């Protein structure tokens, strides 16, 4: 059912109808082939009877099922032994994995069809073609478009947050399934080839059915790094140069061959990947200075391997003689090398040698070598070599050098502000400057920091006397210093979690001075209150001489500062509407502060996968930001299941990248008369406050937490070995709302099908608006404003919810009737208010195909929920030995429901 990953499909939801019956038939054919292969595989591994039983149970469930139907299905499951329930979950999980893959394949197929159709028709929606056509339609010429592209700088940031429940071996088998289905769709297969492919498909599905879904041991950080590198070195490595080619093709289509060069020649990097994997130590004690050093080394070594292969391909292709180029066209930079016959090949060989033998092989060295080769080809004056210089392998290599360099993805470091404060306090105490820094009020801290930053002396030469956490922090700074000295692109930012005071920023300036390193310091504003205070804090920071000097020292020609916004904790803290409004208002007001101080602003959006954690259609999110906040420069996190969904297939990766570039172009090039049609901040503020009050009434209810822990599988989610980072800060009796992380919070609500973080609190405020206010919001929705995106997201999450199933979870725990009444009444109130504002009782009227997919998935998802409920009941009433047997099956049920809902936390 469609979480953020499914939002990608939501963007294509009209395609199945607009491209005609052939596309729909192809999609149905894929599903039928996969389900038939599943049935045969089930028979081959003795799960045929379980599949039949599951189909019978699913027939009793679904959107139209009555309470009696669900009771009958639950009763049937209660009579199954544990092995049969495990088999039912295994079959259900495999079924949804196959359906998910069929939908991904359909997205790729739809976009290929639309691309073919666009040759003689309108450009594809959310494509780069469409973005350039839009700008041309507004009267912008080729030079204007190039000026827009020069400002686009997008940084997708891979993180290792624990939201991918599938094992790598399961993901690999799903990729094999996709390859088999794609092959079966070809019309030129011989009967023998078709039979072989069907056999391969059935074998892979048989292996899926007999492979444990949940890994036995928790991932360590190096394994997470390797997982992230897998996507960088495969689909992402291929997708980035393809994006550059797409821009050139769009320019040619829109402005013609003569003007194409103005737009696309020597195009700067539009996409640069970042990573937190191996650098994010906030709440993860497993990320140490040594781990960060090894991460940087592994990324560099992977880059060497990729570039050796890339240069080898160039060497094979660029067999240009010296007669064609002229004397000394490409100096080999290698003493004694005979480059007289094939100078380009000689230069490439010298570069390959430099890759392996020198630590000085940095990103700039690599790019300069490739640009030298291109210049030599262009200087030849031959039209054929000009094409070789500007298209094909060399152009792709230059695009990769600009995007990936020798670092692949720039690593961020993140740590909590309190860790920095403790280290500063220890350093000041050891230096005899201030013995009680952490106990000072804010003004006292600032006075000490300002005084110390006016000096240039180190506080402590020997960090051995520091406590273990502080010594570890200084060791990490030393790793960063060495990495930046080798390649400035390797580490660019240090993110401060829970930034709330100016002293948090100045403390980091002092720590960097102590360590002899200067990279950008990025404040992260996470809670609703911190977001509200962020504009004032940034106003102080940009006016602070020490911090302003640090900005200028770490910027290019113009001072630039990055600000990170947290979507997960703000939602958990204040609820859906309050978080969305706080984030929207903060973006506009922070942007206004930066304009006053004449500092370039880059927003870093800490989005999660689900709607409640900032998920949704990435392009839509970019275009719904306040106009003053649209600069073309932005970053956003991509984590767990989102990475897998977006980058598991080349076609999906390409579509994702073109959607965000399309949105960034249009957002950065917005017209001066374009404004947000959302209601005034005063009304938005009242909506946010009232919805937050309603949300807090639920989670602050004295009976809520005991009920939540009993009703949900939250404690079992904490036991899933899906990432190195703990999913909660405490367990057992110490597990409270305050120390539960946002991911398992959302994960739990999704598992029991209420999805409270995606809508709760909205009904309380919308139902209380007067007629004029409702009309104003309705107008904003029709105009496609920020509120339109928010309300569409809420409707989608409500459509994914299944209160008939949630009721069973709620009533299985103490105080269930009371908690159920609160959730059900708010749901109905929200649904009625949305119907009045939008004029439709159909929550998915804006996306009917997605609504249909939700309905089709409900029956089997209900079966999985009923199985999980039975397991929870047996676990709670079982002896320790029984619990030990039930636990892995419970974990498998969590994974299966995640596959069905296509989202975790």
Q: Which residues pair with 154 in a beta bridge?
A: 271, 634
Q: How far apart are CA 425 and CA 438, in angstroms?
A: 6
Q: Which residues pair with 415 in a beta bridge?
A: 496
5 within 8 A of 903, measured Cβ to Cβ = yes
Q: How far apart are CA 585 and CA 581, in angstroms?
A: 6
The half-sphere exposure of 690 on its side-chain side, counting CA atoms within 13 A, is: 14
Secondary structure (3-state) at 90 = helix
DSSP state of 271: B
Is residue 779 annotated as a catalytic residue, yes or no? no
CB atoms within 10 A of CB 905: 31
Element (H, E) at 746: helix 742-751
Nearest to 97 by CA among 34, 163, 169, 160: 34
Place of tokens 């580490």: 491
CB atoms within 10 A of CB 381: 10
Instruction: Give the chain's radius of gyration (CA, Å).
Output: 28
Nearest to 263 by CA among 153, 147, 371: 147
Q: How far apart are CA 753 and CA 213, in angstroms?
A: 21
Can you read off the two tokens belonging to residue 141? 């010429």
Q: How far apart are CA 703 and CA 284, in angstroms?
A: 31
- For residue 605, which phi and psi values (nearest 5 degrees)? -90, 115
585 within 8 A of 625, measured Cβ to Cβ = no
Can you read off the two tokens belonging to residue 59? 């027939």
CA angle 489, 493, 494 (to 5 degrees): 140
Task: Please count the helices (runs of H) and the strands (runs of E) in the chain.
Answer: 41, 8
Q: Which residues pair with 412 in a beta bridge?
A: 493
Q: Which residues pair with 159 in a beta bridge?
A: 639
Burial of 470 (0-12, 13-18, 19+ CB in 10 A): buried
Is residue 703 annotated as a catalytic residue, yes or no? no
Catalytic member of 97, 463, 572, 716: 572
Q: How far apart are CA 796 and CA 610, in angstroms?
A: 11
SS3 content of the chain, % helix, strand, coil (to 5): 65, 5, 30
CA angle 788, 790, 795 (to 5 degrees): 95
Q: How far apart are CA 471 and CA 248, in angstroms?
A: 50
Catalytic member of 101, 161, 831, 846: 161
857 within 8 A of 6, measured Cβ to Cβ = no
Q: Which residues pair with 566 in a beta bridge?
A: 606
Q: How far apart are CA 476 and CA 185, in angstroms?
A: 51
Q: How far apart are CA 725 and CA 21, in angstroms?
A: 46
DSSP 679-729: PPHHHHHHHHHHHHHHHHHHHTSTTHHHHHHHHS-HHHHTT----SS-SBS
Element (H, E) at 850: helix 848-877
Residues labelled as active-site residues: 161, 572
């Amino acid at each position: 059912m469609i979480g953020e990953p499914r939002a990608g499909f939501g963007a294509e939801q009209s395609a199945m109808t607009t491209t005609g019956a052939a596309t729909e038939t192809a999609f149905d054919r894929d599903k039928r082939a996969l389900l038939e292969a599943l049935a045969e595989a089930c028979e081959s591994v003795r799960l045929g009877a379980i599949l039949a039983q599951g189909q019978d149970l699913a027939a009793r469930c679904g959107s139209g099922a009555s309470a009696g139907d669900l009771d009958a299905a639950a009763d049937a499951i209660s009579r199954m032994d544990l092995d049969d329930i495990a088999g039912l979950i295994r079959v259900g999980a495999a079924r949804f994995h196959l359906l998910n893959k069929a939908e991904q394949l359909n997205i790729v197929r739809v976009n290929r069809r639309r691309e073919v159709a666009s040759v003689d028709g309108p450009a594809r929606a959310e494509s780069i073609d469409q973005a350039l056509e839009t700008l041309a339609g507004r009267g912008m010429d080729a030079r204007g478009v190039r000026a827009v592209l020069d400002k686009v700088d997008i940084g997708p940031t891979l993180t290792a947050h624990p939201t991918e429940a599938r094992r790598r071996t399961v993901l690999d088998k799903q990729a094999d399934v996709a390859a088999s289905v794609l092959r079966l769709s070809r019309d030129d297969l011989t009967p023998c080839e078709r039979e072989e492919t069907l056999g391969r498909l059935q074998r892979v599905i048989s292996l899926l059915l007999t492979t444990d879904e949940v890994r036995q041991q928790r991932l360590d950080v190096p394994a997470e790094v390797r997982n992230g590198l897998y996507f960088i070195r495969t689909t992402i490595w291929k997708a980035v140069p393809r994006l550059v080619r797409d821009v050139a093709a769009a320019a040619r289509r829109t402005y013609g061959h003569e003007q194409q060069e103005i737009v696309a020649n020597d195009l700067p990097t539009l996409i640069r990947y970042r990573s937190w994997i191996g650098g994010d130590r906030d709440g993860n004690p497993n990320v140490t200075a040594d781990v960060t050093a090894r991460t940087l080394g592994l990324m560099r070594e992977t880059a060497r391997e990729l570039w050796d292969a890339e240069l080898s391909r160039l060497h094979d292709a660029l067999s240009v003689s010296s007669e064609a180029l002229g004397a000394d066209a490409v100096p080999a930079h290698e003493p004694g090398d005979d480059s007289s016959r094939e100078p380009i090949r000689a230069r490439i060989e010298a570069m390959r040698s430099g890759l392996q033998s020198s630590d000085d092989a940095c990103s700039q060295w690599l790019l300069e070598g490739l640009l030298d080769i291109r210049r030599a080809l262009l200087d030849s004056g031959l039209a054929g070599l000009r094409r070789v210089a500007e298209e094909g392998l060399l152009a792709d290599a230059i695009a990769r050098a600009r995007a990936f360099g020798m670092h692949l993805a720039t690593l961020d470091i993140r740590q909590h502000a309190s860790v920095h404060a403790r280290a500063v306090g220890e350093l000041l105490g050891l230096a005899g400057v201030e013995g009680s820094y952490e106990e000072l009020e804010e003004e006292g801290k600032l006075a000490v920091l300002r005084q110390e930053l006016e000096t240039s002396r180190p506080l402590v030469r020997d960090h051995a006397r520091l406590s273990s956490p502080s010594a570890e922090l200084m060791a990490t700074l030393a790793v960063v210093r060495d990495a930046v000295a080798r390649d400035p692109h390797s580490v660019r930012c240090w993110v401060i979690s829970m930034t709330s005071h100016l002293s948090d920023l100045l403390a980091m300036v002092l720590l960097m001075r102590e360590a002899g390193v200067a990279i950008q310091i990025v404040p992260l504003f996470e809670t609703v209150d911190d977001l509200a205070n962020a504009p004032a804090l940034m106003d102080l920071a940009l006016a602070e001489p020490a911090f302003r000097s640090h900005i200028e020292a770490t910027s290019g020609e113009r001072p630039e500062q990055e600000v990170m916004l947290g979507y997960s904790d703000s939602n958990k803290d204040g609820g859906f509407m309050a978080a969305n409004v706080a984030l929207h208002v903060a973006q506009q007001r922070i942007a206004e502060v930066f304009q006053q101080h004449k500092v370039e602003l880059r927003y870093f959006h800490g989005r999660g996968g689900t709607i409640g954690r900032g998920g949704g259609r990435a392009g839509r999110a970019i275009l719904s930001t306040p106009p003053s906040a649209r600069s073309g420069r932005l970053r956003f996190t991509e984590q767990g299941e989102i990475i897998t969904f977006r980058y598991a297939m080349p076609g999906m990766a390409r579509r994702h990248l073109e959607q965000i570039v399309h949105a960034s172009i249009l957002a950065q090039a917005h017209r001066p008369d374009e404004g947000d049609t959302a209601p005034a901040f005063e009304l938005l503020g009242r909506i946010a406050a009232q919805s937050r009050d309603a949300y807090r009434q639920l989670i602050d209810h004295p009976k809520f937490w005991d009920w939540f822990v009993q009703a949900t599988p939250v404690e079992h989610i904490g036991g899933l070995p899906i990432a190195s980072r703990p999913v909660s800060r405490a367990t057992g009796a110490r597990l409270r709302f305050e120390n539960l992380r946002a991911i398992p919070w959302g994960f739990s609500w999704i598992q029991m099908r209420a999805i409270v973080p995606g809508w709760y609190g909205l009904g309380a405020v919308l139902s209380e608006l007067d007629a004029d206010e409702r009309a104003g919001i309705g107008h904003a929705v029709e105009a496609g404003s920020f509120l339109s995106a928010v309300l569409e997201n809420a409707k989608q999450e409500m459509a994914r919810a299944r209160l008939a199933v949630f009721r069973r979870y709620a009533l299985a725990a103490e105080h269930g009737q009371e908690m159920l009444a609160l959730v059900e009444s708010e749901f109905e109130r929200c649904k009625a208010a949305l119907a009045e504002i939008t004029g439709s009782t159909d929550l998915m009227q804006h996306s009917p195909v997605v609504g249909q997919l939700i309905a089709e998935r409900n029956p089997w998802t209900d079966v999985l929920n009923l199985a999980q409920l039975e397991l929870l009941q047996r676990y709670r009433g079982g002896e320790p030995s029984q619990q030990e047997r039930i636990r892995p099956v419970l974990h498998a049920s969590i994974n299966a429901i995640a596959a069905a809902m296509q989202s975790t936390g």
